[in-house]
Amino acid sequence: MLQINNLWKSYGDQIVLERIHTEVQAGDFVTMVGASGCGKSTFLKMLLGTEVPSKGQILLDGQPLAAEPDADRGIVFQQYSVFPHLSVLDNVIIACAFSQSPWTGWLGRTRKAAARQAAEAMLDKVGLSHALQRYPHELSGGMKQRLAIAQALMLKPRILLLDEPFGALDPGIRADMHELVLGLWREHQLTVFMVTHDLKEAFYLGTRLWVFDKVRHDPQAPHRYGASLTYDLDINRKRGSDLQGAALLKDIQARTAPTVALAG
């Protein structure tokens, strides 16, 4: 579904990413890890359309990706992705409003009723049906992320992008969110890209784990070489905890430490 051909990204003479070739199938759940500043977020921004590649292409079904964000790609940021001036329900209804009348964002009465029903159903799925009339500032961090996910899924995007969505959450809440995301991924057959700092999370959630790291180093000019994909692991979820998996985990940890934290 998604083809990435010889992708480079540089700012001035600082090369961030280089020589990325890969292909992603519909239904893949790709988790991306790497040291801070290794370019995994830049890569996500290129998928999103807020950054453009310096060289190379990203093709979606053979067509180059639009150079600005659009409804093909849903996004959940670590924070600020919900609208603070709208109630939980309106936050999801506005997704329908934007997609159905892109210029004004206004819905007539009948379309609004339909949107409301769809929004309530989606909020029920993410477990927010008890908080429909609340405003985002009255929600906990976990609930805000549930809302952001509901918003992003309303339009059934081809690709769902998650930018460290659970980075600011407590471990217990995080486990709940993992189940939620896995459930939605299976149910809607989503294609997901997720940036995370947490290797265990990456192993647990992903069907493919990408590790971003520099292959080449120039100690005199560290910025002249960018990071690339050093690992592209197929994860069979059932084997995730066996010996082979554990050995891999250790190996990757050793390579990406000390900047990748292994959170419990």
Partner 1 sequence: MKRMINLRPDRSWRMMLTLLPFALLLLVYILSSDARLALNPNDKLLPSFAQFASTMQQMVFEPSKRTGELLFWQDTFSSLQRLGLGILIAATLGLVIGLLTGALPLVSAAFSPLLTVVSLIPPMALLPILFIVFGLGELSKVVLIVIGIFPFIARDIQKRAQEIPAEQLVKSQTLGAATPAILLRVLLPQLMPRLIDAVRLSLGAGWLFLIAAEAIASTDGLGYRIFLVRRYLSMDVILPYVAWITLLAFLVDWLLAWANRRLYPWYHQGGL
State the nearest-atom distance from the C-beta of 166 to partner 1, in Å. Answer: 16
Q: Which of 138, 170, 218, 242 binds partner 1 (CB under 8 A)?
A: 138
**φ, ψ (nearest 5 deg) of residue 240:** -50, -30
Q: What letter does residue 195 receive in the DSSP assignment? A: E
Asked if 238 touches partner 1 (CB under 8 A), the answer is no
Q: Which two tokens stand for residue 48?
A: 């999103």
**Rounded distance, CA 41 to CA 226, Å?**
14
**Per-residue x/- track, 50-79, partner 1 (CB under 8 A):** x-----------------xxxx-xxx-x-x
Please provide the distance, in angstroms rounded to a whole number, between the alpha carbons at the two ends of the chain.
34
Asked if 204 touches partner 1 (CB under 8 A), the answer is no
Residue 63 CB-half CA count within 13 A: 5
**Per-residue x/- track, 4-43, partner 1 (CB under 8 A):** ----------------------------------------
Asked if 48 touches partner 1 (CB under 8 A), the answer is yes
Q: Which of 36, 104, 110, 220 binds partner 1 (CB under 8 A)?
A: 104
Those residues whose C-beta lies under 8 Å from the C-beta of residue 18, and which sit 6 or more positions away, are: 8, 225, 226, 227, 228
Helices (H), the chain: 40-48, 88-100, 109-125, 141-153, 171-188, 199-205, 243-256
Residue 9 CB-half CA count within 13 A: 23
By CB under 8 A, the count of residues binding partner 1 is 37
Asked if 101 touches partner 1 (CB under 8 A), the answer is yes
State the nearest-atom distance from the C-beta of 209 to partner 1, in Å. Answer: 25
Asked if 97 touches partner 1 (CB under 8 A), the answer is yes
Closer residue to partner 1 in complex, CB, 95/252: 95
Binding site for partner 1 (CB under 8 A): 48, 50, 68-71, 73-75, 77, 79-85, 94-95, 97-99, 101-105, 135-138, 148, 151-152, 154-155, 157
